[in-house]
Chains A and B, each alone.
Chain A
Amino acid sequence: MTTQTQSLYRWKDDPVLTVEHLSMRFGGLLAINDLSFEVGRGDITALIGPNGAGKTTVFNCVTGFYKPTEGRIVARHGKGAQTEAVDHATRTGKRWHKSGEGAVFLLERMPDHEISQKAKVARTFQNIRLFGGMTVLENLLVAQHNTLMVASGYTVGGILGLPSFKKAEKAAIKKAVYWLEHVGLVDRADDAAGDLPYGDQRRLEIARAMCLDPQVLCLDEPAAGLNPRESADLNMFLRYIRDTHGTSILLIEHDMGVVMEISDHVVVLDYGVKISDGDAAAVKNDPKVIAAYLGVDDEAEIDVPEVRQDLSGAKGVPHE
């Protein structure tokens, strides 16, 4: 934990998303316990941890699928921590507050669809959730629902076939094609999404989330089930997203190779508690992390050298 001091400030200074004292209880199970971390603007932040650590639960709280038992989750548009605006919104009980500096959104107060629509936090799912019976193109058009809804005059203009809607639809298709080109699926645009191979589905899901023009993109194990080549392509794609679109990325990942290679910032969870937080190098050497992954006490039979190698950033096999 000692190497953190310097790098710590980068995401503290300009966080696009902060999770503060988040707790989530399922009946008797405290899946997340007083968790706080920041996602820096323009960073690729990795959330890692053993199975059942509560990573997906964090995502579900951030994106409004679960209402956290306790805690505050703030998303920010515009520079800086905007502390005043956050305090103001918290005090007044509002869901968001817009100011000269930008806007802040208290995600724990917002329903899921508003989080992606207004706060611009998009996500993918651990077990892919595409619209399998719709084409690839349709999947990407559904993602632009709210824009198109407005353009279609909430359907009335659309039924009448107004030219302004036609234009908006063209633009939507253009955006879809743009993302399809980047995930290499233009040729499959008219196929059912459910017919795509697994790796393509994963990329399509990311493309679909990107059609929302998100500020924060939350990816739940995007590299799971990909082969090393696909996984390397994915890394490039994520960097591209970050570099050209300025989207901050929060990703859950088991593949240490991926994590160590692309993340600017790593947060480690174990049993719902944060055990380490810092840049890749710092986390990699944190004894607590090694212990959590190796299960020093109770799982001594694990093949230690391999896991260690994994942790130190070599190309790893994706964990289950």
Chain B
Amino acid sequence: MSGPGLVSAARTPNASQGAESRMTRALREASIAGALAGVLGFFFLALRTDIVTGGLEVTTRWGLWFTAIAIVFAGRLALNLFWFGHSYGAGKTAGRKITRLLPSSKIVGRVALAFALILPFFFMVLFPNRDRQYIDLSILIMTYIMLGWGLNIVVGLAGLLDLGYVAFYAVGAYSFGLSAQYLGFGFWTALPMAGLLAATWGLILGFPVLRLRGDYLAIVTLAFGEMIRVVLINWKSFTGGPDGVSGIPKPTFFGLEIGRGSGSFGDVFGLPYEPIHRFVYLYYIILALALLTNFVTMRLRRLPIGRAWEALREDEIACRSLGINTRNTKLSAFSTGAMFAGFAGSFFATRQGFISPESFTFLESAIILAIVVLGGLGSQIGIVIASVVMIGGIELLRNLDFLKQIFGPSFEPAEYRMLIFGLAMVVIMVWKPRGLVSTREPSATLKEKKLIGADQIAQGEGH
């Protein structure tokens, strides 16, 4: 449990201090960190409660405990000696420098887009054995990119903190799942409907709550997200309850099924059927949906409505003095964001073929929000980077089977996924509080486009 902030990072090393005292200080702080780790870990690492017949039993694991203390001690020592020597900056300094590292976001965007377009073939050629797995992962990442872009409208542009975004994702997924089950709708019929329904829900939920400020809005949206899930679990006769909805149809290609048999896509185009086709097709669908989200967002940013969203984030009172109806403007941002979640939701349903309330927990909202904030509020390309890093990262952890050889067969790397995910969230945020890409591109220019530094940009509601 060591990290850059532990014990006394704030004390900057005194220039006149010699190497000797620096070493002692490092040792002292490392000891404190180790001791703290020992205290914190005592009841969790050294002791373990397990169910045995007749009740609970405590077992001890001193080895694990000592190892953990040693690791924290060593880690802190190393940090002190090799890292904090170079000063430790958090907070406002992290604004402008980052973008200098990145070439103009336009170029990055173009390259990323080109890569995204050929991605399935890239995997098929280079990793013929694992292509299915990689394309599937790409689909997952692309879904999060789309969700991130959708939420970005609400949080990044309009500055409204929405912790219940997953509710609209669920609305989209269930509206397809249920319409397929009860009405026999296909994906392409259900897709616009899912978006519309989610947007409508956005309006309905947004109407009463959007007048709340900052954190109140956050907690109420969180509550709504949970409420929708509770309803999905308990309205068994309609939603199938915890068992969810299964047998959701796959998308067709202009009426042709991607599968085996006569009248299928392969049959008509004379291609022998391979399961990978389905993945490639799904990939291109989500890519198209994500690009649509991006296109619409970029367009909206340059329209009065988008500018009003950003103005709202900057200063709501000034907006009101300029004749902007803030309630309607907020509602439009909220429901536009919801609409894209609805699209993504119905894609999720068709991809999985099965949905249940399990998939729409608060954690999901938190992950999407984390992607938006870590990427850099308002930055489209930042969200792509954050999705790839965070989602790709946790999925990679599933595949670290070689670790079993080091830690023994009972070691399950997958168990540590979320632990590492959470730690990464904390570390990245402490390292770059404004996210990876924190500059803003103006929506209109007179002569020369200049990026706006993070230190000027407000974060909306409450401040």
**Hey, which bits of chain A sit against chain B, CB under 8 A?**
63-65, 112-114, 116-117, 122-123, 125, 129-135, 137-138, 141-146, 148-149, 152, 155, 158-159, 173, 177, 186, 189-195, 208-209, 212
User: Which residue from A65, A133, A148 sits with its C-beta under 8 Å from B458?
Assistant: A133
Would you call B446 and A177 a contact (CB within 8 A)?
A: yes
- Distance in angstroms from A202 CB to nearest chain B CB is 14
By a CB distance below 8 angstroms, the chain B residues around A122 are 321-322
Given A125-B318, A155-B300, A155-B303; A133-B448 close (CB under 8 Å): no
Residues in A with CB closer than 8 Å to B320 are 64-65, 112-113, 116
Q: Is there an interface contact between B322 and A145, defined as CB atoms closer than 8 Å?
A: yes
6 sample A-B contacts, Cβ–Cβ < 8 Å, listed by A number = A65-B321, A131-B310, A134-B452, A144-B304, A155-B332, A158-B299
Nearest first, the 5 A-B pairs at minimum CB distance are A133-B457, A117-B323, A194-B456, A131-B314, A148-B304
Cβ-neighbour of B318 out of A114, A129, A173 (below 8 A): A129
Question: Does the CB pair A131–B311 fall under 8 Å?
Answer: yes
CA distance A134 to B306 in the complex (A): 12
Chain B, residues 316-329, CB within 8 Å of chain A (1/0): the string is: 01111111111000
Query: Do B304 and A129 have beta carbons less than 8 Å apart?
Result: no
Q: Would you give the shortest CB distance from B321 to chain A, in whole angstroms?
A: 5
Selected interface stretch from B123-131, B145-153, B168-176, B437-445: B437-445
Give the residue name and chain of the A residue nearest to B296 (CB).
Answer: A159
Check B447 for interface membership: any CB of A closer than 8 A: yes
Please report the C-alpha to C-alpha distance between residue A83 and residue B12 in the assembled complex, in whole angstroms.
Answer: 72
Given contacts A138-B307, A142-B308, A149-B304, contact A132 B323 (CB under 8 A): no
B81 at interface, CB cutoff 8 A: no
In whole angstroms, how far apart are the Cα atoms of A254 and B322 in the complex?
A: 25
Contacts of B453 in A (CB 8 A): 192, 195
Cα A138 to Cα B444 with chains together (Å)? 6
Given A113-B324, A159-B299, A191-B450, residue A138 in contact with residue B443 (CB < 8 A): yes
Closest Cβ neighbor of B302 among chain A residues: A158
Asked if A141 and B321 make an inter-chain contact with CB atoms under 8 angstroms apart, the answer reads: no
Residues of B within 8 A of A133 (CB): 310, 313-314, 440, 452, 456-458
Given the known inter-chain contacts A123-B321, A141-B307, A149-B305, please indicate yes or no for A129 contacting B315, CB distance below 8 A. yes
**Interface members, chain B 405-463 (any A CB < 8 Å):** 440, 442-450, 452-453, 455-458
Give min CB distance, B319 to chain A, whole Å: 7
Asked if B305 contacts A135 (CB within 8 A), the reply is no
Query: From B332, which residue of chain A is reached at the shortest CB distance?
Result: A155
**Cα–Cα, bound, A138→B452 (Å):** 12
Q: A131-B315, A135-B452, A208-B322 are in contact. Are A142 and B447 (CB under 8 A)?
A: no
Residue from A131, A141, A193 in contact with B444 in the complex, judged by beta carbons closer than 8 Å: A141
- Chain A residues whose CB sits within 8 angstroms of the CB of B326 once the complex forms: 113
When the two chains form their complex, are residues B444 and A142 in contact, meaning their CB atoms are under 8 A apart? no
Q: Which residue of A is nearest B329, CB measured? A: A145
Give the contacts of B152-204 with A (CB-CB under 8 A). Answer: none
Shortest CB distance A142–B (Å): 4
Chain A min CB distance to B446 (Å): 4
A63 touches B307 (CB 8 A): no
Interface positions, chain B 221-238, Cβ under 8 Å from A, are none
B396 to chain A, nearest CB (A): 35
B149 to A: closest C-beta gap in Å: 16
Cβ-closest chain A residue relative to B295: A159
A142 and B303: CB pair below 8 A? no
A65 engages B456 (CB within 8 Å): no
Q: State how many angstroms separate the Cβ of B265 from the closest Cβ of chain A.
A: 32
Given the known interface contacts A132-B314, A190-B442, A190-B445, the answer about A116 and B305 at a Cβ–Cβ threshold of 8 Å is no
Within the complex, what minimum Cβ distance (angstroms) separates B455 from chain A? Answer: 8
Return A249 CB to nearest CB of chain B, in Å. 16
Q: Is the CB of A145 within 8 A of B304?
A: yes
**Which residues from A are CB-within-8-Å of B318?**
125, 129-131
The answer to whether A142 and B317 have CB atoms under 8 Å apart is no
Report the separation of the CA atoms of residues A177 and B321 in the bound assembly, to the nearest whole angstrom: 21
- Chain B residues with Cβ below 8 Å from A194 are 455-456
- In the assembled complex, which residues on chain B have CB atoms less than 8 Å from the CB atom of A137? 442, 444-446
Residues in A whose Cβ lies below 8 Å from that of B446: 137, 173, 177, 186, 189-190
Is the pair B442, A134 in contact by a Cβ cutoff of 8 Å?
yes
- Count chain B CB atoms within 10 A of each CB in A116, A133, A143, A212 and give the residue with the most: A133
Smallest Cβ distance from A121 to chain B, in angstroms? 9
From B303, B313, B322, B457, give the contact of A143 (CB < 8 A).
B322
Residues of B within 8 A of A152 (CB): 303-305
Decide: A63 near B322, CB < 8 A? Known: A159-B299, A189-B446: no
Alpha-carbon gap, A104 to B395, bound state (A): 65
- Report the bound CA distance from A258 to B435 in whole Å: 46
* B442 near A158: Cβ-Cβ < 8 Å: no
Q: Are B321 and A125 in contact (CB-based, < 8 A)?
A: yes
Q: Which residues of A contact B319 (CB under 8 A)?
A: 113, 142
A149 CB contacts on chain B under 8 angstroms: 304-305
Which chain B residues border A112 with CB–CB below 8 Å?
Answer: 320-321
Chain B residue nearest in CB terms to A176:
B446
By a CB distance below 8 angstroms, the chain A residues around B317 are: 65, 125, 129
Q: How far is the CA of A187 from the CA of B320 in the complex (A)?
A: 28
- In the assembled complex, which residues on chain A have CB atoms less than 8 Å from the CB atom of B445? 135, 137, 189-190
- When distances are taken between beta carbons in the complex, the residues of chain A under 8 Å from B322 are 113, 116, 122, 142-143, 145, 208-209, 212
| A145-B307 in contact (CB<8A) | yes
CA distance A64 to B319 in the complex (A): 13
Contacts of A135 in B (CB 8 A): 442, 444-445, 450, 452
